[in-house]
Structure 1
Amino acid sequence: MKIRSGGHDYEGVSYVSDVPFFILICSTFVQSMSVLKMRLHGFKLEQLLVKFLQNCRENLSTVGVGGHFSGGGYGNMMRKYGLSVDNIIDAQIIDVNGRILDRASMGEDLFWAITGGGGSSFGVVLAYKIKLVRVPSTVTVFRVTRTYEQNLTNIVYSYQQVADKLPEEIFVRMTLGVVNSSVRTGEKTNIATFLTLFLGDSEKLLPHE
């Protein structure tokens, strides 16, 4: 038996096995809905977008909340609000003995383990109780790419010097890759991609004098 709450692939190929098994997908429920907290399990993020669009901003709709949380919950707002697991205040699991435990009865060591250490390794997570955060109604997103021929080396070095000094409302993720060169036919070149999210509008990000 395998437990899942979603999948990390838009084409549904997240789970491949030659061994017969069945998958248990927990049903969805939400309790105690408020901006400060809610209890949930079995959700996909696309469902949260529909129900909590004013409180939740996410972009990988096929990922199950349980898998996202149990792996730490990295996201573009973590500089401001931390990882997703930093906002989990309680959980319910079924342990190997069939007991249903909450944070108080499971103890802090097990609670710590299921909030970042991989929930499926320690039991079946039934529910999380999470603290929601307020997100501005307008955010600014942009993407910049630079190749080796466009002074990539110096740009990456400069990014490394300032990235940790930016306001926490700004998140910049840099990825490196290889693409076909537009300058030298038939050759490859390095490329850096900067994906940025600012929790505010463009006027606040780049104010005019």
Structure 2
Amino acid sequence: MTSPHHASGVHSVIGVDAGTATPREADHLIHGLRDRLTLPAGTFACTHLFRTGERRGATISLTLPARDAATRAGTDTVWQELLTTLPAGTGLVLGERSHGPAEAVGTARQAAAAPPSTGRAVLYPGVEQLTGTVTVADVLDRTAVEHLVVLGAPAGELPGTTRVWTRNHVRPEWRAGTLTLTLVPAAGGLLAPFEVPNPTPCCADHD
């Protein structure tokens, strides 16, 4: 499946700094926004670590398809929904638009500029297909993930029949424009995503 980042047309990226301190907290925020915002099909939501002086945390980016007037209007809708959904003190950036305290706007601007060069993807096309055990071919054919690597193994294409135990928690990363999933060996001859799921119930419910 070809990622919308590589399709022709323009994409709108909204950077958000809502004060989340860790990727796990940012995940929780993204899942909450997914349930409350009018996100168009093809949206990517990523987390981004930052450190500015003594302040550090995790921002998010929402990359929305905006190939025509209708989808651009959808981006405006999402922007307005964010303004009324997120708490005071949140920094938001969309192109030349910004909202919030200067420091939070600065880190939100960094998040908006990050994908598709860097970022850890939480929402992306096809993520709902990645539950239970799937094959490498399933991942590549049904989702926006473009490349899979096994940590510590020689580079090379994995057989399409290789089984991947998703643990219902698959977080690929942007690497120089390619959405890449890092895997590690798991029990029973399976592979599994390198990142272990959050064990806390609040996020387990979302996954």
TM-score higher than 0.5: no
Q: RCO (CA 8 Å, sep 6+): is it higher in 1 or 2?
A: 2
TM-score (norm 1): 0.23
**Bigger proportion of residues as helix:** 2
So what's the TM-score if we normalise by structure 2?
Answer: 0.23
Largest Rg, 1 or 2: 1
